Amino acid sequence: MSPDSEARGSVRSAAEVNEQIRALWVRAGGTLSAQERTEYELLVVEWAAAIRADIIEAA
C-alpha cells in the first residue's frame, strides 16, 4: 500500500468498496436487514470518499 493511499483517508479503492457493496446485496438477496442497511450506509460513505480522493488525485 502506498503512503499516498493512506494520506487520502481511504485504504481501499472505490472499485474494492463497490465490489463489497455488490456482494452485500447478493448475500442479502436484494432486501437488507437493519444491520445490513447500516453496513451498506458505511460502505457507501467509504465509496464516496474513495471516489472524491480519485478525482482530487486526478486533478
Mean pLDDT throughout 34-49? Answer: 97
For residue 7, give Cα distances in angstroms to 4, 12, 21, 45. Answer: 5, 12, 23, 17
State the average pLDDT over residues 9-33: 92
The mean pLDDT value of the chain amounts to 85
Average pLDDT over residues 18-28: 97
Whether 10 shows a pLDDT value over 80: the answer reads no
Residue 40, number of CB atoms within 10 A of its CB:
16
* Domain edges within the chain: 3-58
Q: Which amino acid is at 37?
A: R
Taking the CB of residue 25, how many other CB atoms lie within 10 A of it? 13
Number of Cβ within 10 Å of residue 46's Cβ equals 19
Residue 3 and residue 51: Cα distance in Å, rounded? 18
